[in-house]
Structures are given as structure tokens and as C-alpha cells.
Amino acid sequence: MSATDERTRADLSTQPAPPDGGDGSGSGGGVTLPRLGPGGWLRYAWRQLTSMRTALFLLLLLAVAAIPGSTFPQRSIDAARTAQWITDHPTAGPVLDRLGFFEVYASPWFAAIYLLLFVSLIGCVLPRSRIHWHQLRARPPRAPRRLERLAAHREVETDETPEAVLERLRTTLRGRRYRVHAHDASTLSAEKGYLKESGNLVFHLALIGVLVGVAWGHLLGWKGDVILPVGQTFANTLSRYDTFSPGPWVDVSGLDPFTLRLDRMHVEFESDTTGRGQFGAPRDFDATTTFTDAAGQAREESIRVNHPLETGHGTVFLLGNGYAPHVTVRDADGTVIYSDATPFLPQDNFYTSVGAVKVPGADPDQLGFAGFFLPTGVIDDQRGPHSVFPDTLDPQLALTAFEGQLFPSGAPQSVYTLDTEAMTPVPGKDGADQLRILLRPGQTYDLPGARGSITFDGVERFAGLSIRSDPGKTLTLVSSLLALAGLVLNLVVRRRRVFVRVSAAEGTGRTVVSVGGLAKDDDEGMDDEVDAVLTADEGHR
């Protein structure tokens, strides 16, 4: 670090200056602390931050810091599981929560690591880019005095004149893609493999592009989910989404006004193979829709997994599916007070689904039904109502009924669960304290008292659609491909220097040709390279 001490005061501005090499060959990494003013300290800190050791340390730290995100449930991925985990671990849960373990990739400490890493990277790469820029236009350096000291070296004698030998070797080297320069009449200096460093710099700079692309998508991207039963139409406005999460900079009033009608939903499950984990596994999901764009042009579109629909400003993905039993509720006079396809959310691989039917129009008390839809239903004492196959082999609706106030506080609530705070269970006919209803399609159940009836008309499928926009994705993709290209160049290309010196052999009138080769890092092929340069020469003779 002594170089830092020797800088004059004029250098010690408050702006940290870039390190001179940046390759962090780090002469000991500052074991002796320099005596410096505040500017000097800044410079010192900057030098440490942009050293290769620090980059290495931060990389390892980043790897370690990413791990908890896979071992603890993450709120952004599965909020319910996260909440459950915290409830199950009353001591550790809240502490880990405060420390950000359930939002690792949005936590300040994770951000601190990668931001420091990128600052380090910029501080490292910019000066190196400048140096490389100059090197690209510089001549290969002068041949060292003693070529035999280089890693690879050969010497031969020939009858030809020094000029002829130099001329031929120059051609050979050029043919081998060397940049050749003669600093004097008896030597050649040649260098190749500049692309190695170019590749390295492209790689590191492109990583910055990846980060910017990710950030851009985060700030200006949005996503919304909607559950759409067959036959229904979705209009792309904010209020039609079940959930909508915009990035901080998104203008939510600017959604383009397309509509999407779900015409058919084709679903296939494995029923042939009975092997472990295979029976009932999903095989094909295909939503046939009518898409009407903002200009009013309608066309049929099939949305499948791996085959999303591009709408222009967003992309529609088919991410889920399930069942929406069609339920009709009548009052005591037989007047229909509720009739709708009501989506129930699948809970397991066999589509045991939960949901609620809310009938605010019932009189005198509002009615609510909560329970399960089972595509292939089984009810046993141990597990209660559950499904044993995801397709509708024996669809059943198992409900309990409540009466009272559906929306006591007026606060928004989930359409899939019943808030029974201000409700009481409807008693069973035979004196049981809770009415349990089991319906198959077409069946009607007469509610006790003058409460009317409930009919399970049939079942429709629904498509779980997610509509998303990520304006940063192209930048991220292009940058990552550039990074890959740079990386390959960096790892494949070899930076090599070859020097030639000719001199007259004593007395014989012959010419001594001395060729030395030098490579960046260890390069097993350097001896062969020097041989090849020389034998090309001999072959010419």
C-alpha cells in the first residue's frame, strides 16, 4: 500500500480515485494501515472494496445469504405457508420475520451484499476497461533482453539472412493472428488474444445490465391474477382482478382494454399408470378463449402451459385450474336468490377444493355455505371429505350452512372463505347442532325451517389466469446472453506474446533465431506454440 502514501496531497480529493490496476494483485491487502487524511481513507476504502479479494468474499457471502430463501417459506411466493410457519414456531418465527428471513431477496442485508458487489464490480471493471482500451491500440512491448528466460524458448540456426528470417516469421505470426511489431531491426514483438480481456470486461459489464433489467422489471412491471369460469368474460380493468400487484412506478389506469372470454377448458389427468406419484398427475391443460383486443378485433386463442398469450402490453399465462360448482339458492317461495358458478380453490393434487357460497339476498338473515367440492369424493371419519382423483368421476359438494351477517365490518374479505364472526350455524333437522349437506349434481336440499333450498346444478371448470408485464425482461435476457458470450471468450481465448531475436552466429555466417513465448496465467500450450512458429518457418525452407 506504500504507493498510496506517496501520492501528493493534490491527489487526495474527496472523490475516490479508481485503483490503478484493479486486478487487485493486492500487495498484501493492506496489512500495515496507512497514515492518511480523510480523502486518503476514502481512497483506501475504495481500493479495498474494489479488490479481487473483496469481490471473492462478497461472492461467497452472497451464496450463503441466498440459502435461507430456500429453507424458509417466502412470503412473496407462499404467504399462507409463511404465516403458518410463524404460527408453528412462536419463538423463532417473529424473530426471523423481523430479520427478514421470510423475504430474503427483498431484505436489506441481501440487497447490501449484492449492491456492494456491484459497486465493487464497477470500480474494478471501469479502470480495467480504460487500460484495455489503451492496450488495444498499443504496440506489443519491446522484446526482453534474455528470451531464454521466458516460459517457453527455442533457438535454432539457419543459413538465411536475418532479414529473410524476420520477414518469414512476421508472416507466420500474422498468419497465426498475432499483432506484430518490430521495435528494432533484430527483433519482433507479437501479441494476440486481446479478446480474452475484452470478453472478461463484456461479461462483467453485462452483469450490470442483468441487474438493471431486473430492477427495471421490478419498478415498471405488474401482475394480476384472475379466476375465470368457463363461459365468463374478463375485461382488463383493475377492478376485475382478484389480486393485482403493480411495481412502484406503474400507472394502473393505463391498462389496455382487451377482453378475454373462456370458451372451453380442456383438462387431462393420468389415469393409466398407477406408479408412485403418477396416478392423477396432470397431463394437459388447455384453455380455449376468445380474445378481443383494444381495437375490438376478436380471435380465438388457445392458452396452455408453456404457451402464453401475448396481448401487447401484457402476457396471459394459464397457471391454474379448478372447479366452479354451479349453485342455485331459492327462498321459501321458490324465488331464485342466488345462482352462479362459484369457484372453489383446489387444496391438494386431487383437487379437494374449498370455497364458500354467500347469499346476501336471503331473508330475514343472510345465508352462507362453506365447505368442500370434491371432484371424486370420499368421506371418511379420519380425513373427512376429500377427493381421490382430480377429474370429475363422482363430483360432490359437502357444505355446512350459517346464518346471520355475512359482512359485519364491511371490510373486504376473501370470496373463498366465510367470515362466521357474526353468524351462527344452521341446526340440523334431526337436532344435530350443525347442518351438513352433501349434494351430487342435480340434487336439491330443502333447508330446515322456512329457509328455502339449495341446488347443486352441475360443475364448470375455471382457468386460473395470471396477466403479467415485465418491461425489463428483454434487457435482462440480452445482457445475460452477452455475459455468456463474454465468459466463453474470456475462458477460451489465450493471451500470448511471442518475441523473436535474430543475431549472427559467431564465425559461421549463419543466423541464430531465438524465439521466446510468454502467456498470461499458466498455459500448457505455450511450448507447442513456440515450436509451431518455428516449424512453420522450417517447413518453408
Partner 1 sequence: MNDTLAQISSYSVYSAIVVLFLALGFYALYLARVARAGEAEVEAAPERELVAAGGTTSSVGTDEPVGTDEPASTGGHVGTDAATQEPARARKAAGIAWTLTLLGTALVVAAVVTRAVEVARWPLGNMYEFAIVGAMFTLLAYVGWSSRRDLRWLGAFVLAPVLAVLGSAVTVWWTEGSALMPSLRSYWIAIHVTVATMTVAVFTLGAVIGALYLLQDKRETSGGGGGRTAFMSRLPSARALERLSYSAHVVAFPMWTFTVIAGAIWARQAWGSYWNWDPKEVWSFVIWVVYAAYLHARATTGWKRQNAMWIALIGFGCVILNFAVVNVFFVGQHSYSGL
CA dihedral sign, ordered 62, 68, 74, 77: positive
Distance separating alpha carbons of residues 283 and 125, to the nearest angstrom: 49
Q: Which residue's Cβ has the minimum distance to ligand HEM?
A: 124
SS (H, E, C) 288-306: EEEEECCCCCEEEEEEECC
Give me the torsion for CA of 130, 131, 134, 138, rounded to 10°: -170
The least CB distance from residue 159 to partner 1, in Å, is 34
User: Total residues contacting ligand HEM (rule CB under 6 A)?
Assistant: 16
192 in contact with partner 1 (CB under 8 A): no
Cα angle vertex 373, ends 244, 259, to 5°?
35
2 in contact with partner 1 (CB under 8 A): no
For ligand HEM, the binding residue among 121, 206, 262, 399 (CB under 6 A) is 121
Residue 169, SS3 per DSSP? helix
152 in contact with partner 1 (CB under 8 A): no
Neighbours of 356 (CB within 10 A): 21
> Is 380 or 522 the residue whose CB approaches partner 1 more closely?
522
Residue 494: which of ligand HEM, partner 1, none does it interact with, CB under 5 to 8 A by kind? Answer: none
55 in contact with partner 1 (CB under 8 A): yes
Q: What does the block give as the cell for 170?
A: 512476421
Residue 283: which of ligand HEM, partner 1, none does it interact with, CB under 5 to 8 A by kind? Answer: partner 1
The least CB distance from residue 235 to ligand HEM, in Å, is 43
Type of residue found at 167: E
Rule CB under 6 A: which of 124-183 touch ligand HEM? Answer: 124
The C-alpha cell 451484499 sits at 113
The least CB distance from residue 41 to ligand HEM, in Å, is 19
Distance separating alpha carbons of residues 331 and 221, to the nearest angstrom: 47
> Is 490 or 514 the residue whose CB approaches ligand HEM more closely?
490
Residue 524: which of ligand HEM, partner 1, none does it interact with, CB under 5 to 8 A by kind? Answer: partner 1
The least CB distance from residue 205 to partner 1, in Å, is 15
Crossing angle between the packed helical segments 526-539 and 162-175, to the nearest 10 degrees: 120
Q: What does the block give as the cell for 37?
A: 487524511
Residue 498: which of partner 1, ligand HEM, none does it interact with, CB under 5 to 8 A by kind? Answer: none
490 in contact with ligand HEM (CB under 6 A): yes
CA separation (Å) from 482 to 120, 198, 357, 488?
20, 12, 53, 10
> Is 122 or 378 the residue whose CB approaches ligand HEM more closely?
122
* Residue 298 near residue 290, CB atoms below 8 Å: yes
The least CB distance from residue 481 to ligand HEM, in Å, is 15
Rule CB under 6 A: which of 21-80 touch ligand HEM? Answer: 23-24, 50-52, 55
Neighbours of 262 (CB within 10 A): 22
Neighbours of 518 (CB within 10 A): 21
Rule CB under 8 A: which of 73-132 touch partner 1? Answer: 73-74, 76-78, 81, 104-105
Q: Segment contacting partner 1 (CB under 8 A): 131-139, 226-234, 327-335, 477-485?
A: 477-485
The least CB distance from residue 511 to partner 1, in Å, is 33
151 in contact with partner 1 (CB under 8 A): no
Instruction: Tell me which DSSP letter residue 74 carries.
Output: -
> Is 306 or 382 the residue whose CB approaches partner 1 more closely?
306
For partner 1, the binding residue among 36, 62, 131, 182 (CB under 8 A) is 62
Distance separating alpha carbons of residues 324 and 459, to the nearest angstrom: 6
Residue 121: which of partner 1, ligand HEM, none does it interact with, CB under 5 to 8 A by kind? Answer: ligand HEM
Q: Please, which residues have CB within 8 angstroms of residue 126's CB and are 6 or more apart in sequence? A: 18
Give me the torsion for CA of 93, 95, 98, 101, rounded to 10°: -60
The least CB distance from residue 225 to partner 1, in Å, is 10
Residue 50: which of ligand HEM, partner 1, none does it interact with, CB under 5 to 8 A by kind? Answer: ligand HEM
The least CB distance from residue 289 to ligand HEM, in Å, is 42
> Is 204 or 261 the residue whose CB approaches ligand HEM more closely?
204
**Size of the chain, expressed as the number of residues it contains:** 541
H-state helical runs in 37-160 = 38-49, 52-66, 68-71, 79-88, 92-98, 108-137
Rule CB under 8 A: which of 301-320 touch partner 1? Answer: 304-308, 315, 317, 319
Distance separating alpha carbons of residues 449 and 427, to the nearest angstrom: 10
Q: Segment contacting partner 1 (CB under 8 A): 39-47, 57-65, 236-244, 378-386?
A: 57-65
What are the b/e assignments for 116-126, b being 16+ CB within 10 Å? Answer: bbbebbebbbb
Name the site residues for partner 1 (rule: CB under 8 A): 24-26, 28-29, 52-53, 55-56, 59-60, 62-63, 66-67, 69-71, 73-74, 76-78, 81, 104-105, 214, 223, 270, 272-273, 275-278, 281-285, 304-308, 315, 317, 319, 466, 468, 470, 473, 476-477, 480-481, 483-484, 487-488, 491, 521-522, 524
Residue ranges in contact with ligand HEM by CB under 6 A: 23-24, 50-52, 55, 117, 120-121, 124, 200, 204, 207, 487, 490-491
